[in-house]
Amino acid sequence: MDENEAAEMRRSLNELGHLASGIGHHVINAFSAIVSNAEILRPNMGIHVDPSKQADTIIRTALDAASVARRLIDFTRPITNIGEERLALDRLVADYVEDRRQDGPPGIIWKTDLVEVPKIRGHADHLREMLDLLVENARDAMVGDTMTITFSIRVDHRGWVALEISDTGRGMRPEDLERAVEPFYTTKNGHLGVGLSVANGIWRRHRGTLSLRSRPGEGTTLSLCVDPSMN
Whether 231 maps to a domain, the answer reads no
Whether 114 maps to a domain, the answer reads yes
Task: Please indicate, yes or no, whether residues 168 and 65 belong to a single structural domain of this protein.
Answer: no
Domain's final residue, options 76, 108, 127: 76
Task: Please indicate, yes or no, whether residues 54 and 99 belong to a single structural domain of this protein.
Answer: no
Whether 106 maps to a domain, the answer reads yes
The answer on pLDDT for 120 being more than 60 is yes
Whether 50 maps to a domain, the answer reads yes
The answer on pLDDT for 80 being more than 50 is no
- Residue 213 phi, psi dihedral angles, 5° rounding: -130, 135
Contacts of 24 (CB under 8 A, 6+ apart): none
Task: Please indicate, yes or no, whether residues 114 and 72 belong to a single structural domain of this protein.
Answer: no
Domain's final residue, options 28, 46, 76: 76
Domain's final residue, options 76, 107, 138: 76
pLDDT tens sequence across 122-172? 999 889 989 998 998 898 888 888 999 999 999 999 999 999 999 999 998
Q: What SS3 state is found at 54?
A: helix
pLDDT tens sequence across 169-217? 999 888 888 877 776 556 665 555 567 888 888 898 898 999 999 999 9
- Residue 79: what pLDDT? 46
Task: Please indicate, yes or no, whether residues 97 and 168 belong to a single structural domain of this protein.
Answer: yes
Task: Please indicate, yes or no, whether residues 96 and 176 belong to a single structural domain of this protein.
Answer: yes
Whether 159 maps to a domain, the answer reads yes
Task: Please indicate, yes or no, whether residues 109 and 213 belong to a single structural domain of this protein.
Answer: yes
Q: What SS3 state is found at 140?
A: coil
End-to-end CA distance of the chain: give it in Å, rounded.
21
CATH number at residue 121: 3.30.565.10
Task: Please indicate, yes or no, whether residues 69 and 105 belong to a single structural domain of this protein.
Answer: no
Residues 128 and 113: beta-carbon distance below 8 Å = no
Residues 153 and 88: beta-carbon distance below 8 Å = no
- Residue 60: what pLDDT? 76
Count of structural domains, the chain: 2
What is the rounded CA–CA span in Å between residue 18 and residue 7? Answer: 17
pLDDT tens sequence across 22-79? 566 566 667 777 777 777 766 655 556 677 777 777 777 777 776 666 666 655 555 4
The answer on pLDDT for 91 being more than 80 is yes
Task: Please indicate, yes or no, whether residues 140 and 214 belong to a single structural domain of this protein.
Answer: yes
Whether 178 maps to a domain, the answer reads yes
Angle, helices 89-103 vs 124-139, to 10°: value is: 50
- How far lies 211's CA from each of 4, 82, 178, in Å? 21, 21, 10
Whether 81 maps to a domain, the answer reads no
Task: Please indicate, yes or no, whether residues 94 and 145 belong to a single structural domain of this protein.
Answer: yes
Which pairing describes strands 147-155 and 108-114: parallel, antiparallel, or unpaired? parallel
**Percent helix, strand and coil across the chain, each rounded to 5?**
50, 20, 35
Task: Please indicate, yes or no, whether residues 38 and 128 belong to a single structural domain of this protein.
Answer: no
Task: Please indicate, yes or no, whether residues 57 and 35 belong to a single structural domain of this protein.
Answer: yes
The answer on pLDDT for 112 being more than 90 is yes
Residues 203 and 193: beta-carbon distance below 8 Å = no
The answer on pLDDT for 2 being more than 80 is no
Q: What SS3 state is found at 113?
A: strand
Whether 165 maps to a domain, the answer reads yes
- Residue 8: what pLDDT? 59
Q: Give me the domain span that covers residue 121.
A: 86-226
